[in-house]
Structure 1
Amino acid sequence: MLWASATGLKLIQLLPIHDTTATHSWRDSYPYAAISVHALHPLYLDVNGLSQSTAATKLLASMEPMRQELNQLEAVDYEAVLKCKWQIVKAIFPNEKKAVFTSASYQRFFQANKHWLEPYGCFSVLRDKYGTADFTTWSETKYQPELPERLMQLDAEALLIQYYVQYHLHQQLKSAVSFAHDHHCVLKGDIAIGVFKNSVDVWQNQDLFNVGAQAGAPPDDFTVSGQNWGFPTYNWPQMKATQYQWWKSRLRHMEQYFDATRIDHILGFFRIWSIPVSAVEGILGYFQPAIPIYEEDLKQIGVHFPVNRLYEPYIHIKELKKIFSDSFQQIADEFLEMGEEGYFQFKEPYNNQRKLDNYFKKLAPTTYHKWLRQALMDMHASVVLIKDPNSDNGYHFRFNMQHTASFKSLHLSLQHALNELYHDYFFNRQNQLWKKEALEKLPVLKNATQMLICGEDLGFTPNSVPEVMHDLGLLGLYVQRMPKMMGEMAEDLSKVPYLSVVSPSTHDTSSLRGWWLSLSHSQQQLYYRQVLHQHGESPTGHDLPGWLNQLIIRHHLQSPAMWSIFLMQDLLNMEDSLHIAEVDKEQINHPENPDQYWRYRMPVSIEQLLELKDFNKNLKEMVESADR
């Protein structure tokens, strides 16, 4: 906050800060897979604020070499930091618990948050007892109101230490909020569209979630197989029947800490990309809700053969020879069984992506096994249609079905007819349904909070999204390199609406440096002249010079958008001396990698940043000259 104040910045945006501890490993570093939408992450606990006793002071002094060692690392060691903090908490807790639990402040906190704190505490205790967050394997497969009392009798310490940590996290964050406001800075949070399938929220409210489906996103330029986030989708009819109380509670809880919030993937309130649990890749998903294609629709365009030809994997001997060459027979003998007229189908142990994935997990991760796994996964995805599990004769088009061997082998006239039906299905058929869905949910959520709501509306966007968001006063997101108008090189930031946020990068993209280096020289030149309106040749070389990085930042600051928000990486890269050697390490998340380790760390500390007087003065001048 002190640095924000020194540079004239008026908003600090954070990634989700809720507890994600499911495995006690680096895999929990993914902040969008919360085990609770209320509990804060123990990773952010300031252990120095737990106690001022002599014993605590000595303990922290003994841990100082470890703290310095961890802080000197180039990237965050998630596991070591969390382990270290829990070690300190467990050492301090026995001597401090009585004073905390008898305080009026704690009593107020407990009563106000009991509805989520007790289930969270129980979940954490049972997760550690059973060695897994998968509650379907526990004896206590569903939360029961009497469980906190029972666990208090069995292991009070294990339960109470969870309450203790959450109380301190709450107090510390509230203190930080007050400090920010005192320095004329607002805080913006981030609400993930989903929750982890093995979470307190699903355990406690199983009727609100569809655990037989996985949420994700369709393919795009960055993830050709789509994204599978692994979250259960929402049971919206049941949410509506309960007057959206779960969502209202979630927003009101966030409101304690944040003045504004980003709603991750706000398109999910219009429709969500739903992937069957039998699939691994997002490519085999479809939007829900959606009006299916029926067999009658298919007959009208000339599908006079059994429809299973379009929804079962297309595996012909010609394709096998093309993919596997001389080893096709060996592959076929192991994974496939012969059908009629040169066609094959998967054997039962491999007849969906999930089974196939489980098989390869047992094998050594060699280059060959990785290639073979992906080739077989692609064969599973070689379909034109996906069956609707809720309709006897309803189907959904596989996204980008035109690229499949299944589609390409059809007669050209049928390809043309399917393409027309495909376009109608995605761009016309669903519009009113998706608009209706959003208008049922989003006004209720907006009216439940005083926070300014900003929606992350990137991706495959229904036509009704801009209209609905404008009418409800919700801010949209504009990332210059990801123009909303197809065919454009970059978003024209001078024309974005006031109710919007502009940003050159996000946590899911490369930094400005990374993006610039991914462009060809001709693309760099085009951007330099047509978007930044500069004359002459664009800079050449193996980096984005700081002055040009600064020019792009200034370009964003001058847009009419209400907020112009930047990754710290992009701000720091205005100074050449702050560039890190490996530009790829500036990217926080690679969406195409389901095993991403979220561990980015700034090349300088905040304390060091405060000492960069010229840098800070320059940034402040940029903000002020843009009248922000």
Structure 2
Amino acid sequence: MRLKFLIEYKAHWGQELFIKILKPKELSIPLTCSEDKNWHGFIDLNDDAFSFIEYIYEVKAKNRIVRSEGLRFSHKLSLNIEDKEAVVVDSWRDKLNDSFLYTDAFNSKNAVSPANTLKQSLNLRAWCHLDNNSALFITGDCKALGNWDPQKGVELVQIMPNFFSASLDKDDLPSYFEYKFAAINKDNGEIFWEIGANRNASLQKGICEYPPESEVKLYPFSHKIAGTAIPVFSLKSSGSFGVGDFGDLKLFIDWAIQTGQKLVQILPINDTTITGTWTDSYPYNSISIYAFHPMYIDLRQVGELKNTKLNNRFKKLQNKLNALDTIDYEAVNKAKREYLRCSYDESGLKILSSLKFKEFFKRNQSWLVPYVAFSYLRDKYATADFKRWKEHKYDPAEIAALCDEKSETYKDIAFYYYIQYLLHIQLSAVSNYAKAHNIILKGDIPIGISRSSVEAWVEPFYFNMESQAGAPPDPFAKDGQNWGFPTYNWERMEQDGYAWWLKRFNKMSEYFGAYRIDHILGFFRIWDIPTHAVRGLLGNFVPSLPLSVEEIESYGLKFQYDFMTRPFINEDLLNRLFDEDADLVKKKFVRHLHHDIYGLNEEFLTERQVQAYFKDKNDAKSLKLRDGLYSLISDVLFIPDRNRPNLYHPRIAVLDDYIFSRLLPAEKEAFTRLYNDYYYKRHNEFWYQEAMKKLPVLVNSTTMLTCGEDLGMVPDCVPWVMRNLDILSLEIERMPKEPGTLFNNTKTYPVLSVCTSGTHDMATLRGWWKEDPALSQSYFNNVLHHEGKAPQELSGPLCEEIVLKQLQSPSLLCVLPLQDWLSVDENLRCADIDKERINVPAIPRYYWRYRMHLTLEELLLSTGFNNKISALISKAGRN
């Protein structure tokens, strides 16, 4: 059988078009351009294995892939091998319209069947999001298609989720006909016609034909979903071991089912075991992008130990830790690890010899072997900083020998196999349970990786280890955030088609139906901070377009290198920052240059040097001196680009700093124009193109629903890209995206968005209400439209009013923190508002230890509260 492929594609000079066969085996076939944009190619198939094929089109230049169709919308063909030839006409597809419908979150549950392809037939292929209990038909203006009666038409077969096929006998069809698609509800016979004009077809007799795939829209989409956000570690049941686990997550899904919710969102669950202390509680600093944290194992599912004495000891410890209001991270992890070691010694090797483990190992070997070796060496050398290990600089052969079953170290190393296998089994069970009950499980993909991680050890070429990723100043942190992660080497990642990210996304899709991209702005540009800096103020965006001296001066600002790029320190500034300690600063930290101008001493030129000096000094005076010196160091107008020192970045948030106040009025006006152009206009098209290199490939590589955390300093190009790719934005009423406004208008949220009342980085609704009474008063009067003075504390009825506002937004998803759901019930909610806070971003090393103040069993039995939540969801039309 010879397949002829035809496609229109406008290529640039030097580009070539290829068909990439994905299934049943990978092949790459070059196409030929016969005219301006008409490409064709042939494949000869003589193997029954090719009765069904999946494929995409790729564009290559100099043997590198420069553009590719999304895997999620791969083309599909059901073939009749008896045909001597067939013509396949395609169109390039980056994505489908309303592509969010074609994700696991909204996937059709209708049965999938193989197609029966007739010989020399017309084969129609269609993408369609079809309601359950409905069937898709084709009907048209001829007898074979029912003469516009869908019930007498031809039913299409769903051969893949949301993908349908029909094989029509050409002998029964006229040479030209018109047709449409229609769905028929199997229960009541209701017919839904395809939206849009009639379609038409002209036939070639004696040959098998495949017209371009149709995209069928049957009815306006009005489905809206309610859900809850909760870190797994925050869950609490009567059988927890002082921290939430995957067993608790299944119980939480039961609560979501009971209250009419359809989504449960969690924070990252990857292994963060770096120091073995409470600082590892930060869930965004993992040692592996694949491995899960051992503390999430439900020990109830592991089973009791054979040693009764040990069982009793652990039971007492479990009761003690589970009675705590907050997580004792170190005690919990020490206890659970000890229990798992005992269980492993009893039956671990037997489990690892099972067929199911061997299958798991085979699928995950590429990341699992480096991870277990890393974990073993971390424990052996008592540090995750692999640069301090005495041996085993990553070498695949050495690591394979270390992890070999015949190795002396195997039993110790295999302990980590055992843990990851248990975690996989338990999370898979939760995932399957959620799917069976139509609950979307939503995961979280952190933007960064730890410097002390398996990935940094194994694949350092993917990262800029000399850089630090972070965020510019925002409402969470006035000095910016320094996460300490290395930045990504996007040029290197592009060379292999972002394989590192594709593997990461595909692993996530094994468990989750939706995911949140943490700091999606990082795919446009990242805030890159030099290693000598502690805070985020001295960073700049990468990639970016720094300014030349000529460009700076074109704004009417005379460039003065020393004054504008080196800390400006005078008597007035020293007195302002240090008060009575100004003389001490002059003696110890700065030197007099001329007049009233000073310079920093050599040993205090950088924030890292200052940080090291004050390392063990935590008294109020020392902290004031340290922070004052940080302010001196960052008091510059421009930062030279690290790779092109003759180009410059205006320092972020400098308009509020002392150096800006020293400019003349005309200079201030010129610099402000330059600053606004640089940060809000100059990079829009540039960053749009950067994001469109990466995100289409990644978003369309799985069937997960994609949500982006797009908070902070958001350039205009971000919503362009997110709308283009159907990525859901994040909307928060108290974090307005419109300049000059105090609150977002929940009624105007885009449909493709996630509405929430707050994130893990923010105070809860009740906590926020008390933070700024003036802001709360404005919200009370101008948003809730209540008269008079706002109450000091947010009452249950007011909380309910705010929650309902969120639920009634147009957003596709409304996902509220558990704490804010609970706030509507004054008898059930936590008495201590402060204990409900998960994280404070302004504190670099924060202890993430929030736990539910009641158990999941108690929550499930709270009938009045649960009925209220269900009623609110129903009232908002999210059921």
In the other structure, the counterpart of 1:623 is 873
Deviation per CA, 1:285-338: give whole Å up to 9, x if none: 111111001122234445556413211111123322333345423212211223
Distance 2:847 2:284 in 1: 12
Alignment-mate amino acid for residue 531 of structure 1: V
5+ long unaligned stretches in structure 2:
1-252
Distance 1:104 1:367 in 2: 60
Once the two structures are TM-superposed, the CA of residue 519 in structure 1 deviates from its matched residue by 3.4
Identity value in percent = 40
Distance 2:578 2:601 in 1: 18
Is 1:13 the counterpart of 2:265? The answer is: yes
SS of structure 2 residue aligned to 1:214:
strand
User: Of residues 398, 401, 425 in structure 2, which corresponds to 1:147?
Assistant: 398
SS of structure 2 residue aligned to 1:177:
helix
Distance 1:168 1:619 in 2: 34
Q: Which residues of 2 match residues 120-519 of structure 1 at below 5 A? A: 120-140=371-391, 142-152=393-403, 153-301=407-555, 304=558, 306-361=560-615, 363-519=616-772
Is 1:28 the counterpart of 2:280? The answer is: yes
Once the two structures are TM-superposed, the CA of residue 15 in structure 1 deviates from its matched residue by 0.3
Alignment-mate amino acid for residue 399 of structure 1: I
Distance 1:277 1:141 in 2: 26
Label 1:27 to 1:226 Cα distance change in 2 as closer, same or farther (>3 A). Answer: same
- Any conservation in 2 of the 1:122–1:147 contact (CA below 8 Å)? no
Label 1:409 to 1:40 Cα distance change in 2 as closer, same or farther (>3 A). Answer: same
Once the two structures are TM-superposed, the CA of residue 404 in structure 1 deviates from its matched residue by 1.8
In the other structure, the counterpart of 2:11 is none
- Any conservation in 2 of the 1:384–1:404 contact (CA below 8 Å)? no
User: Of residues 539, 545, 550 in structure 1, which corresponds to 2:800?
Assistant: 550
- Any conservation in 2 of the 1:578–1:603 contact (CA below 8 Å)? no
Which structure: larger Rg?
A: 2
Label 1:130 to 1:9 Cα distance change in 2 as closer, same or farther (>3 A). Answer: same
Distance 1:352 1:40 in 2: 37
In the other structure, the counterpart of 2:306 is 54
Further displaced range: 210-219 or 297-306: 297-306
Distance 2:549 2:320 in 1: 64
Q: Which residues of 2 match residues 524-535 of structure 1 at below 5 A? A: 524-532=776-784, 534-535=785-786
Once the two structures are TM-superposed, the CA of residue 90 in structure 1 deviates from its matched residue by 1.0
Deviation per CA, 1:193-242: give whole Å up to 9, x if none: 11111111111110110111111111123311111111111010011012
Label 1:142 to 1:238 Cα distance change in 2 as closer, same or farther (>3 A). Answer: farther
Q: Which residues of 2 match residues 596-615 of structure 1 at below 5 A? A: 596-615=846-865
SS of structure 2 residue aligned to 1:487:
coil
TM-score, scaled to structure 2 = 0.69
In the other structure, the counterpart of 1:86 is 337
SS of structure 1 residue aligned to 2:572:
helix
Label 1:338 to 1:555 Cα distance change in 2 as closer, same or farther (>3 A). Answer: same
Deviation per CA, 1:483-536: give whole Å up to 9, x if none: 111122211111111111000111000000011122325x4343234323x444
Once the two structures are TM-superposed, the CA of residue 142 in structure 1 deviates from its matched residue by 4.1
- Any conservation in 2 of the 1:19–1:42 contact (CA below 8 Å)? yes
Further displaced range: 175-184 or 497-506: 175-184
Is 1:101 the counterpart of 2:343? The answer is: no
Higher helix content, 1 or 2: 1
Alignment-mate amino acid for residue 279 of structure 1: A
- Any conservation in 2 of the 1:455–1:477 contact (CA below 8 Å)? yes
Q: Which has the higher contact order (CA 8 A, sep 6+)?
A: 1
SS of structure 2 residue aligned to 1:293:
coil
Distance 1:581 1:382 in 2: 44
5+ long unaligned stretches in structure 1:
none
Distance 1:538 1:185 in 2: 41
- Any conservation in 2 of the 1:454–1:474 contact (CA below 8 Å)? yes
Deviation per CA, 1:532-554: give whole Å up to 9, x if none: 3x44436523x211111111111
- Any conservation in 1 of the 2:549–2:559 contact (CA below 8 Å)? no
Label 1:257 to 1:277 Cα distance change in 2 as closer, same or farther (>3 A). Answer: same
In the other structure, the counterpart of 2:66 is none
- Any conservation in 1 of the 2:259–2:867 contact (CA below 8 Å)? yes
Equivalent pairs, count: 623
Alignment-mate amino acid for residue 701 of structure 2: A
Query: What is the CA RMSD across the aligned residues, in angstroms?
Result: 1.7
Once the two structures are TM-superposed, the CA of residue 170 in structure 1 deviates from its matched residue by 0.3
Higher strand content, 1 or 2: 2
Alignment-mate amino acid for residue 327 of structure 2: V
SS of structure 1 residue aligned to 2:834:
helix
SS of structure 2 residue aligned to 1:282:
coil
In the other structure, the counterpart of 2:829 is 579
TM-score, scaled to structure 1 = 0.96
SS of structure 2 residue aligned to 1:187:
strand
SS of structure 2 residue aligned to 1:576:
coil
Alignment-mate amino acid for residue 150 of structure 1: A
Once the two structures are TM-superposed, the CA of residue 185 in structure 1 deviates from its matched residue by 1.1
- Any conservation in 1 of the 2:552–2:559 contact (CA below 8 Å)? no
Instruction: Give structure 1 regions of 4+ aligned residues with deviation exceeding 6 angstroms.
Output: none
Distance 1:50 1:59 in 2: 15
Further displaced range: 253-262 or 174-183: 174-183
SS of structure 2 residue aligned to 1:331:
helix
- Any conservation in 2 of the 1:196–1:231 contact (CA below 8 Å)? yes
Distance 1:391 1:325 in 2: 39
- Any conservation in 2 of the 1:142–1:204 contact (CA below 8 Å)? no
Label 1:162 to 1:385 Cα distance change in 2 as closer, same or farther (>3 A). Answer: same
